[in-house]
Structure 1
Amino acid sequence: MIGQWLKDLKYLAAYINPALAVFGLYAGGIWSFTNVIFVFLMVPLIDHFSKNNPNNLSEDEKVSKGKQKYFDWILYFNLPILLFVILLFGTFLDQKDFSLTEIIGNTWSVGIVVGTCGINVGHELGHRKSNFDQLMAQLLLTPALYTHFFVEHNRGHHKYVATSIDPATAQKGEILYFFWFKSILKSYMSAWNIQLNLLNKKNLSFLSFKNTMLNLTFLMLFYLIVLLTLFSFVTVMIIVCSGIIGVLLLETINYLEHYGLRRNTLPNAGFERVKPKHSWNANFNFGRIVLYELTRHSDHHFLASKKYQLLDNHEDSPQLPYGYPAMMLVALIPPLWFKIMNPRLPN
């Protein structure tokens, strides 16, 4: 029992990101890049030299772990951590004489925290049914100024994933940098279309309290107003830049998660059911832990309501040759990405 409890502590490794971001703020100099080096150098190396684990939990283990609130509280604690890191970043920017190198390093480090503690955890909680979990998801997405993800991801992406309709699914041969613009702009437009259709179906006005997109827009404005009352305009703009970095990290992950995969069109013009083969999977141990099992993405799309600690590996899902951080770096070099990934695509 104690041994299993100790194993469950592994997800605390996800807090390494914010801890290193705080360390970089205090240490200064080249140490400002500590979190960046950890994510894009140390994690790939650890994944490369550690044993890949494709094993799944037993049914009894799933029942037990599914009831443990510990796994939920690990997620909830990301909100105060995220807000603390952002407030500390803003305070240091206003009070310390950072060099340009330190500003760049710390902005990237905090941006990684926005992407991991914020967007990634917000994504997990956004699939839950309780009002508390959904509120937490919206708050976690706010520092990235990407709250429309809450609407579009659940009602758009999961419905149309691996089709040409979904802006967050990368086409074969599509370059990452073009994908960023397509996914960001079209996802935002899609979120509003989804919201307006929901209001029309319920005969509600645009100004209804049930207009989630409008509520989330006000939430982001409130967040920016709070920042402007606490910090200088320049500092707020740098904090916003860290949010943009978090968004680009998210969209890069979107790019690699479904690149080139397609669902068949049915005779009725619909699409076949989403299956594990429609998402790229990665079972590299450490990368899985620090991202709350996001890399077992095939099972997440197969059953979106399943909690992160219960996700399975599917043998028939396509497997990425490296973990997420390494593949994100590869995606930045399109010819290398196409050379590695295109031969792996199913016919």
Structure 2
Amino acid sequence: MLTRTSSVEAPTLQPGAIAKIWVRHLTSLFFPVLSLSFLWTGPHAWYVAALFMLPAVGIFVWDTTSHDERRQPVADLPAWPFDALVYLLTGLHFLILFELVRFFSAQGVFSADLVMLFLVVGANSGFSIITAHELIHRRKPWEQWLGRLMLCTVLYEHFYTEHLRGHHARVGTPEDPATARFGESYSAFFRRTLPAQFQSAWKLEAKRLGDESMSLFDRRMLQNRILHGLVVGWGIAFAVLAWFGYAAFAAYLLQAWVAIRLLEAVNYFEHWGLMRRQAQVSFVDSWDTYSWFTYYGLTGLSRHADHHAFPARPYQQLRVFEEAPVLPVGYIGSVDAVFAKNDEFMTTAAIELGRRGLGPFEEPGVSEEEALARLSEVRQEEDRIRLDRRAAWKKRLSRSWKTVPFPAQLALVFAAILVGTTAGVQWETGGGEMGFWSRAGLHAWIFGSLAIVIPARRYLSENAIGEIPSWGVALAMLLAVGVGGDAIFY
């Protein structure tokens, strides 16, 4: 078996090789260029917006059918052209975010473009985390700071601490919240890893400052990098709200959420089911893929085994090791499998682990039937635990709700409708001339009036003046409500 110190013979540098390799890596500009094209040509009719899916579909097909990129990196490859590409991708990320908030501040959120924001711009933000990941592994402090700033724009700066000091040290162990367990579904992994990674990062940072149990009000907290990331990340978000309005704010939060979902989908399949059997990280503790597009279009991400063995190795120098388990398709196809066909992904991955004798399988050559039987057993146990937790949660929620007095229940429902309606109108209009609280007051006036007029009309109809006159009284009351609302709020 290859060890962490194993060497792979690299090809020698041939004339023109640098330019050819660099040009292939320019494929990484696909998502930024597609996002900018979308933002610079909008707003779009729904049928025009849908056309921006066609290039993404083409990339999906390419990524799922290109499985032959096993060439080792060229020896003595100069770093500067590839560093320049990383810096270009970084600059494009910030440009796209600016264009994103400008775009949606001008046209509002609720449109066909919102769907494409989810699919195109959100995907680009997820791709940008790959660039940030490359930067935070660099040795120069300013490059690490640049990577952290990129993570702040998706509200996930704690990834810097957890990934470098947590994940890389504990990958493939039960202590690593970013390693998906054998048989664990993506939804279960996401619910577990999101809070667990933040908690891990917080503990690691508190330990760095000298006291894992220090109070939030300890003066040393001023040096806490997790707090710095929260302040900067949400500071940027609220600056977007203040300068560009509610629609831009909603779009900004949506791109961050999509980026996080994509990042954790990648985390999910990069180590799914693997269990480290030695103290030192080896090449069998990560999944690789031979997809051409994933390697060149996602800055070397396909060679994850070498990255974990040598985290400081730049993306253009990552190597292929035959010992690593191999995903059947590239990262684009794997993300699709995780989101849309999670059971199918787990089935394929379990068979691969059984064949190689990795994860829960002690020896190689495990049959498909045995591998799938083990997977089924684990999945049934996970489903039982999930259903028990859901039932317990519903029971607690129902019990808590029943303790709330009926008038308070009505008030809570009314408040939820009021806030939701007001927020929706504010986002759609970009705020307009009326502030949030003024609009909330107007909506409360309208909803409250309806809550009085409707039962009053019914009472008059059944107990006093009859059906038709009651409608006349109700219309008169609504007219009075309209006149009063106009006088108060406009």
Same fold at TM > 0.5: yes
Q: Distance in 1 between matches of 2:345 and 2:65?
A: 22
Cα deviation, 1:13-41, whole Å, max 9, x if unaligned, reads 211101111222315234435565544x3
Contact preservation (8 Å) 2:289, 2:302: yes
Aligned to 1:113: 124
CA distance in 2 between counterparts of 1:185 and 1:36 reads: 33
In 1, Cα distance between the equivalents of 2:249 and 2:84?
30
2:247 — aligned with what?
234
In structure 2, the residue matched to 1:340 is: 348
With over 3 angstroms needed to count, the CA separation of the structure-2 counterparts of 1:182 and 1:227, relative to structure 1, is same
Number of the residue aligned with 1:298: 305
Give how far 1:96 is off: 2.8
Q: Give a deviation string over 1:203-244, Cα, whole Å, max 9, x none.
A: x95545542112212211321232123211232022111110
Q: Is the 8 A contact 2:238 2:249 kept in 1?
A: no
Deviation at 1:73, TM superposition (A): 1.7
Deviations 1:66-98 (A, max 9, x none): xx2121121112232112111112112121366
Instruction: Select the residue among 32, 52, 59 that pairs with 2:49.
Output: 32
Q: Give the Cα separation in 1 of the matches to 2:232 and 2:219.
A: 17
Task: Assess, with a 3 A threshold, how the Cα gap between structure 1 residues 329 and 47 changes in structure 2: closer, same or farther.
Answer: closer
The question of 1:182 aligning with 2:192 is answered yes
**Partner Cα distance (1:70, 1:80) in 2:** 15
Structure 1 stretches of 4+ with a deviation exceeding 6 A read none
- Counterpart CA distance in 2 for 1:216 and 1:97 is 28
Determine the structure 2 residue equivalent to 1:268.
none
- Closer, same or farther: CA 114–140 of 1 in aligned 2, 3 Å: same
Separation in 2, partners of 1:34, 1:150: 36
Cα drift, residue 124 of structure 1:
0.9
Provide the C-alpha distance between the structure 2 equivalents of 1:289 and 1:35, rounded to a whole number of angstroms.
22
1:108 counterpart letter in structure 2: L
Show the counterpart of 1:267.
Answer: none
Gaps of 5+ in 1: 265-270
Distance 2:284 2:73 in 1: 20
Task: Describe the shift of the 1:97–1:147 C-alpha distance in structure 2 as closer, same or farther (beyond 3 A).
Answer: closer
C-alpha distance in 1 between matches for 2:52 and 2:178: 27
User: Compared with structure 1, are the counterparts of its residues 241 and 100 closer, same or farther at alpha carbon in structure 2 (3 Å cutoff)?
Assistant: same
1:95 to 95, 106, 112: 106
Q: 1:32 touches 1:109 (CA, 8 Å); kept in 2?
A: no
- CA positional deviation for 1:287: 1.8
Unaligned runs of 5+ in 2: 1-14, 362-490
% of aligned pairs identical? Answer: 24
Q: Give, as a single letter, the amino acid of the residue that structure 1 aligns with 2:89.
A: N
Does the Cα contact within 8 Å between 1:152 and 1:188 map onto a contact in 2?
A: yes
The match for 2:161 among 151, 164, 186 is 151
Alignment RMSD = 2.2
1:125-274 aligned within 5 A = 125-200=135-210, 206-207=219-220, 210-264=223-277, 271-274=278-281
Using the alignment, how far apart are the partners of 2:110 and 2:239 within structure 1?
26
- The residue type equivalent to 2:20 in the other structure is L
* Alpha-carbon shift at residue 326 of structure 1 (Å): 0.8
Letter in 1 for 2:204: I
Distance, in Å, in 1 between the alignment partners of 2:225 and 2:256 is 21
Q: What's the counterpart of residue 36 of structure 2?
A: 22
- Relative to the length of structure 1, the TM-score reads 0.90
- Residue 77 of structure 1 is matched in structure 2 by 88
Q: Which residue of 1 aligns with 2:27?
A: 13
Query: Is the Cα–Cα contact under 8 Å of residues 43 and 287 in structure 1 kept in the other structure?
Result: no
- Larger RCO (CA within 8 A; separation ≥ 6): 1
Instruction: Note if contact 1:78-1:121 (Cα within 8 Å) is conserved in structure 2.
Output: yes
CA–CA distance in 2 between the matches of 1:289 and 1:87? 26
> Which amino acid counterpart does residue 243 of structure 1 have in structure 2?
A
- Contact 1:199–1:206 (CA under 8 A) maintained in structure 2: no
Query: Structure 1 residues 18 and 174, CA, compared in 2 at 3 Å: closer, same or farther?
Result: same
Determine the C-alpha separation between the residues in 2 that align with 1:188 and 1:249: 17
Whole-angstrom CA distance in 2 between matches of 1:34 and 1:130: 41
CA contact (8 A) 1:107 1:239 kept: no
Deviation, structure 1 residue 335: 2.1
Instruction: Report the equivalent of 2:290.
Output: 283
Distance in 2 (CA, whole Å) between partners of 1:290 and 1:210 is 37
Q: What are the within-5 Å matches in structure 2 for residues 61-76 of structure 1?
A: 61=75, 63-65=76-78, 68-76=79-87
* C-alpha distance in structure 1 between counterparts of 2:225 and 2:29, whole Å: 30
TM-score by length of 2: 0.64
Q: Is the 8 A contact 1:30 1:105 kept in 2?
A: no
Shift of 1:48: 4.3
